[in-house]
Structure 1
Amino acid sequence: MSRRRVLAVAGGVVAVLAAAYVAGYVLTGQRLPADTTIAGVAVGGKSPDAAESALTRGLAERIDEPIVATFDDQRFELDPEQAGLSVDVPASIRAAGGRSWDPRDMVALFAGGSDHDPELDVDRTKLAAAAASVAETVDQPVVQAQITFPDAKPKPRQPKAGNQVPQQEFAELIRDSWLTTDRPVRVPVSPVAPAVDAAGLQQAVRQIAEPAVAGPVTLKVGTSRVELPVTAYAPALSVVVKGDAMVPVIDAKDLAGPLTSSTTGVGRRAVDASFSFAGGRPVVVPSKAGIGLDPDEMAQQLVPVLTKTGDARSITVKATAVQPEFTTKDAEALGIKERIGSYTTRYPHADYRNTNQAEAARRIDGTILEPGETFSFNDIVGERTAANGFVSGFVINGGVFREELGGGVSQVATTAYNAAFFSGLDDVEHHPHAFYIDRYPVGREATIYYGSLDLRFRNPYKTGVVIRAWVDRSSPGSEGRMNVEMYGTKVYSVKARSSERYNFREPGTQYDDTPACVSQSPVTGFDIDIHRDFYQGGQRVKTEKDTAYYQAADRVICGKKPKSD
């Protein structure tokens, strides 16, 4: 065969292959590879338009099914739409086929394709919120070692490890599992170890706490020597974790009370301006200057000598004029002149509720928020400990009731949240209970847990706000009332609306054979939207929306789980 003929034949073969290659490219854009599925829906051999229709029909029911997550015996149901997940059908079809110059894709048109995961549109803010709603129930806050001094004696609090849901990892598991598996998503949990262990706590008791209250501290004031008794500074003293060690700290505010003539024989305490209330209106109570020992300076000087003995257990201080931190002029300049919002909740009789709510209310009462200032429940009320006046009661921890110090204080937080809500204050942070408690306004309630869950709201106005809080105590046969009022200068009238409850979640059953078990009736979970409408001059000027997600509360049976037959 001549060279020219060989070249002609070769050229023809190349032309045929090229034509076939181009035809393959065209075909890949006209239909998907044979036997291709997306999330289990058959789309193989179909045109892109037909495949889109088939995928939409095939996923129509499944996309509304809840995503199930589990942790131990707990079950959580997440609505895909509320979790910010939706299927991008056109993108899913393109990812499974579409025009391609890759010969393997051309062969797959006839040899067969494979199963593909769907392409998703993800609202990352909603997905993060869904993961956080589960984490609030599953997370167990770490308990750090601490020493307080009730009755001027060391009382150590043992450290306890916690656990925490890595929320970004959990959100990715939720996204990746949707429509790709029928198995529940296992909620990932990471252990959180306390910074100081039990041995470190015992060492702090021996080396810091016991010497700190071994005897009085001598105050050298001019030519006088005054003994500051342990009972005067012990309520302000604690030994806390800082970094990976335990250190003594003294709260200057708690120390201020004892530094008066009744305890030390030195000086007269300064009195801040405050507000009293008469006929629904605030009245400024004037401030008073004092003479005495500066509590901030005292706190700084006392800490280093608490572990000393003999003459080293003394400090030199000066009695000086002490000006109030908040003066009459300061109070009058805030423009606080009327009630701008209030709320009352009721509670069934229980002695622990009377004690704990009254103590929390006492600490909140009189709190002043200057323009732009943010209220923090945990900062104002402090840790719920026996030394701070709290007793044991029931709280929700890990999705079930447990008995802990400070039980019932969430009712104070809920009442304060609603008073702030109707006063038009900015919602900075609030957390509905893990499951709904029917004595609270649905969707408008707040739980708190010292160190992890807080209630925070901000004063957005150009004038100040003062909080009034008090408890009408319950008694056998009569309910108690928790009351919070906000005073300032009224800018808005605020009203609340709510949607119907939706995305219902059914409870399961848990068995608990630990001594901490509290039996619990089941409660159905659901979601609800809360709208806050702001009015001026009778006209609605803005609206805010918030969604509360309530998990189902399992029936809790105290005892071992029965063995299956």
Structure 2
Amino acid sequence: MNEPHPPARARALARPLLVALGAALLIAWLGLAWATTRTLAPGSVVSGVDVSGMTRAEAVVAVDKGVGAVLEQPVTLTVDDASDTLVPASSGVSVDADASIDRLTGPTLNPVTLVRRLSGTAVDAVTRVDSDALTRALNARLGTLATGTADAVVTLDGTTPVLTPGSVGTGLDVAASVTALADAWPLGQTTVALASGTANPAVTDAEAQEFIDSVLTPLLSDDITVTAAGTGAAAAAGEVVLSPQAVAALTTIDSTDGALTAVLDADALHDAVVAELGEGIETPATDATWTIDGDPATAATARPVYHAAATGTGIDPDDLADAVLAAGTDDGGDRTATATVAVLQPDVTTPEDDWGIVEIVGEYSTPYVSQYGRDQNLQRGTEMINGTLVAPGETFSTTDALGPVDLEHGYTYAGVVTDGQHTDAMGGGLSQVGTTVFNAGFEAGMDDVEHWPHTYWFTRYPAGREATIWTGVKDVKWRNSTPYTVLVQAWAGDGEVHVRLWSTPYYEVTITEGEHTNYRAYGTVRGSGPGCEPYGGGTQGFDVTVTRTRSHDGVRLPDDVLTTAYDSDNPVVCS
């Protein structure tokens, strides 16, 4: 029997080996191709954002953030010799991070592409351009990038629309510029040249006439009826008829971003409809809040009271305006708008335990001698600030809490010190409220934001720890630097002004008053004439330093050092 020729045997043996080797190479190649879709090779960059070694998900986040930040930066637009700026991200330009990473990880068996990926590849990010948004952004810049261009304008003369024609100019060709930029936004360029040519107005005469014909004319052609029937509201019976004149008075014409729209004054429309339908159709939502008794007869033993939030019912002004516009422009002829009564949600729903209003954290009282006018101001002032809530991080302003200081708001004339002279002025005595507020906050550890000592020392106040106020000029302010809300309680009666702060203890506070030093003698001042006001006076001036130390959880904060120099309070004799 003849044996096979040796080369033939070798070829027979090599054939399965080659098949096996080819299969192994194919598997390896497929594995390599698959791997490049999962992890980016070193040196992989997308428009300057290094995504080396990242997973696909990580790279998408990095590109979205990095390229997105570039699009947040303003670029300079140029047309001929004119220029303006634009923020791409605010003008319809965005990055498609997924598509951008696909350029590095998209499935492929192309050996050249795979080799490039393995060695690190730099690609441009994929950007998307919202043509409508970019058109609006460029239209808004016609004033600087074009000359001779003016929008058509629509106004109302009573119920009659009036069209003032626009004009075509030269400079920025918005349509051509948008077409060019929509294909490929020049990412990374700080200056973008736009197309120059005919500058059409953002609002053309034809668009303005179409707006008149399709919106204004039907809107103002006849009465519009507003009803709450079918809403389930207790007071839903009845209806409101809005005449064309009434609708016209509520209508403004907006051309923002180059699009004409009719806008109804939603709040005024709401108020008019509710007044006709009856106030009972609405029940306002109430926020969660706290109150505290400020009655001088009972305030000393009062405690804060929590009031939970509650939903209400009412007509949404914006929804009502939309319904009236729709009814007035509906081709169907049914000019009836339904004022839908919806559930109103409160803005503040914080549960009772989350406020931290549990006990007194700072309080102070100052004595006063009853005087006509002054008593009224002290009582009205404490009434106004009582119940004020100060959230964590917020600053309490005494003058803001007091409100307008005038006769109409319950204040009157009483004694004040102005430019060193004792006289009467509106709101005299309110500095005692300010002083008591300051000390309650100081005792509680609140941050001292603003306070102004008096020129002279009044013995009813602690030396170096008192404050004057003058609306619009001088205020007493402290900041709630704790994580808990503060409730202010205040009242005046039985010869004392009281202020308490209710919250959760946060600071450990120690206050030390130094010695009175550098005394300055007073001397009698003699005056005459109708403007002279006699004054008993007779108090020496001096210097004093007050130091407050604060700590929280054993950590001491920097000391607050208040150094005050009081002038001598001179008596005045008139002749």
- Asked which structure has the greater RCO (Cα within 8 Å, sep 6+), the reply is 1
Shared fold (TM-score, shorter chain, > 0.5): no
**TM-score bracket, shorter-length normalisation:** 0.3 to 0.5
Using the size of structure 2 for normalisation, the TM-score is 0.44
Q: Which has the larger radius of gyration?
A: 2
